């Protein structure tokens, strides 16, 4: 009877207080009554707590918060999180989140990068209003901007009388440009100072406008040069 009581007591203590696996006097793994498992940890506070590095030769892991949504494909408006590390068809790590507030990355307690639910990315901004919103300076070796209608229509219209690129383009005379500048304090088709202040400077649009003005100036110079040459020819006749 005493032996039975001892075995029963040992069993109860083991189940209530957990199981500890040791090797050479060093705790390797611990399982406590709550069901938490610790590796290198005597008192795990999570379902699995590991003190040390984790190594896997075959990476095909998935971590999720419920059975419907995980990090591989979080959907819906409820905040679901997860992560998938895979080496099969995708061969890429995937991190996803679904919810009303998007995803945010912080360092030193401050927001550094924000991805909202629409896919807009903010760097230094928690409220991005475009696909990429940056609050601060950008250092780049090169910026490529796609243009729907390049400014070649200036020469095309001048020399052929029509333009397939921009059929409604009209090259103003110098007198018309002077009158417009007197009234508006800026060139035609160029955003005013107030517009730039309110809406910012659109790099692609402004680059194309400046190219248009350069081509127009080139044509004005060509016209003036022809007039000068004609006058010189009369003088030296």
168-189 mean pLDDT: 96
Query: Among 196, 209, 207, 214, which Cα is nearest to 143's?
Result: 207
Q: What is the pLDDT of residue 56?
A: 64
* Mean pLDDT on 141-151: 86
pLDDT at position 55 is 72
* 180/168 Cα distance (integer angstroms): 19
Q: How many CB atoms lie within 10 A of CB 193?
A: 9
Give yes or no for a contact between 113 and 106, defined as CB atoms under 8 angstroms apart.
no
Element (H, E) at 122: strand 121-123
Residues 101 and 125: beta-carbon distance below 8 Å: no
What's the pLDDT score for residue 173? 95
Select the more confidently predicted residue: 147 or 69: 147
- The per-residue pLDDT for 12 is 43
User: What is the distance between the alpha carbons of residues 118 and 127, in angstroms, rounded to a whole number?
Assistant: 11
Give pLDDT tens digits for 11-42. 444 444 455 555 544 455 565 567 888 888 88
List, for residues 58-101, the tens digit of each pLDDT value. Answer: 555 555 544 444 444 444 544 455 555 555 565 566 666 666 67
Model-wide pTM > 0.85: no
pLDDT the model gives residue 92: 64
H/E segment holding residue 198: helix 193-199
Average pLDDT, the chain: 78
Distance between CA 169 and CA 163 in Å, rounded? 8
Q: Where are the domains of the chain?
A: 2-50, 60-134, 153-235
Q: Cα(39)–Cα(33) distance, rounded to whole angstroms?
A: 15
pLDDT value of position 236: 85
Reported as a pLDDT band with limits 50, 70 and 90, residue 159 is very high
């Amino acid at each position: 009877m005493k032996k039975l009581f001892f075995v029963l007591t040992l069993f109860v203590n083991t189940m209530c207080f957990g199981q500890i696996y040791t090797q050479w006097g060093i705790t390797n793994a611990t399982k406590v009554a709550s069901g938490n498992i610790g590796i290198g940890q005597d008192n795990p506070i999570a379902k699995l707590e590991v003190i040390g590095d984790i190594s896997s030769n075959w990476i095909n892991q998935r971590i999720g918060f419920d059975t419907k949504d995980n990090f591989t494909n979080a959907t819906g408006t409820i905040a679901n999180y997860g992560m998938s590390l895979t080496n099969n068809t995708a061969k890429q790590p995937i991190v996803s989140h679904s919810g009303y507030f998007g995803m945010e990355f912080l360092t030193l307690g401050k927001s550094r990068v924000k991805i909202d639910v629409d896919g807009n990315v903010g760097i230094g901004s928690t409220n991005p209003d475009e696909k990429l919103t940056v609050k601060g300076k950008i250092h780049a070796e090169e910026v490529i901007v796609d243009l729907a209608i390049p400014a070649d229509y200036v020469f095309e219209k001048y020399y052929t009388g029509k333009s397939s690129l921009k059929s409604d383009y009209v090259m103003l005379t110098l007198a018309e440009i002077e009158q417009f500048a007197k009234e508006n304090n800026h060139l035609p088709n160029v955003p005013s100072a107030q517009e730039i202040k309110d809406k910012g400077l659109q790099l692609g649009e402004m680059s194309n406008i400046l190219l248009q003005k350069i081509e127009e100036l080139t044509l004005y110079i060509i016209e003036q040069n022809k007039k000068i040459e004609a006058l010189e020819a009369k003088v030296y006749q």
